[in-house]
Amino acid sequence: MSWNCKVYKFAMSSPDDMSQFENLLNEGEIKAEHVVCIIAKTEGNGRVNDFSRPLAHRAFRRVICDHAKKSVDEVEGSVAFVMSGGCEGIMSPHATVFVREPSDRVNNDGAKKLTFATANTRKLLPEEIGTLTQVDLVATGVKQAICDAEIESIDDVHYVQVKCPILTSERINEARSRGQEPVTVDTLRSLGYSNGASALGIAVGLREIDADIKASEICSNEKLYTDRGGASAGIELMNLQIFVMGNSKTSASHLVIGHHRLDDLIDADGVRQAIRSVGIDVEGSVKAKDQNRIINVFAKGQVPLDGLLRGRRTTLLTDSDLNTRPARAVLSSVIASIVGDPAIYVSAGWGYHQGPTGGGIAAVIAKA
């Protein structure tokens, strides 16, 4: 028996709009018990107090619990809920649902097709967020998910998405009540530390870097990074949810995934290289006849820490607006102009280790 990995993308009119998800379930297109991950872009501010993320998380979880007749704990243990806040600019709020169902269909052509799997860790203590403990837990989860997805070679892994926790005032106070000190007391900065530690865990799990990194290198050593994944931190959980996507000969899917590194926030050529990696020719924008082959694009971008973009001064680090928001608007506009669709997943902000400093990654899922 093989696995048929399917991916569905649909628009959301609000963070708790489950109408299109409910339609897919009610019409029998998918079964709730086969859902392994949901990645959604919600229209919150993307900061610590972005309550659109937990709202969407609970809404999706409730629908799966009701349809699968499972408890909250059972669903949380088997499904990764990656709610990413911030749809600045033209990015359209939407969700992508990943379904893995058993199939009797055989992959006769021998070509590697899309596969994926989820790994969940224990809950972190507040003082473990942004530390080597988080790095190790992510690395272990990545290896487990690669095995569960039946990906034969690490080279066939094209994107890893991690959902990770951040610090709040309550979590900081709880740690201190036990005599423990968190990595930072700046709750906003904790997003960067959690994302950075998760990204290093991806890099270790994929053997992109050595495992013997130092705690002092987290969010400081810009030479250490993964070019095949990113993280999204939020208040809605305390464990780590790891979702690995790649290609495998054992998959019966009709889809394929590819990726390419982005050297900066306007690296349109890097986006085109990612599109070409799934067999779609593109020079300027994707041709109309090929646009419907692209299911979704998943991108991570980072603010240049020196404030420069291709040698030019920007105000990303000096403007009163939080730099994560214009960064998302810029990168999503670049990608949307190429693929012809504003419903794309873009996460961006201050941080390290998710691609080269000031750069990132673009991964594309498309019909083979």
Q: What amino acid positions are annotated as catalytic residues?
A: 163, 232
With b for 16 or more beta-carbon neighbours within 10 A and e for fewer, the 272-291 pattern comes to bbbbebbebebeeebeeebe
Task: At 115, give phi and psi (nearest 5°).
Answer: -145, 160
Concatenating the DSSP letter of every residue in 213-256 gives --GGGTTT-TT--BSSEEEEEETT-SS-EEEEEEEETTB--SEE
Enclosing H/E stretch for 171 = helix 169-177
**Within 13 Å and on the Cβ side, how many CA atoms surround 105?**
15
Residue with tokens 């941080």: 351
**Token couple for 274:** 């990612």
What 3-state DSSP class applies to 104?
coil
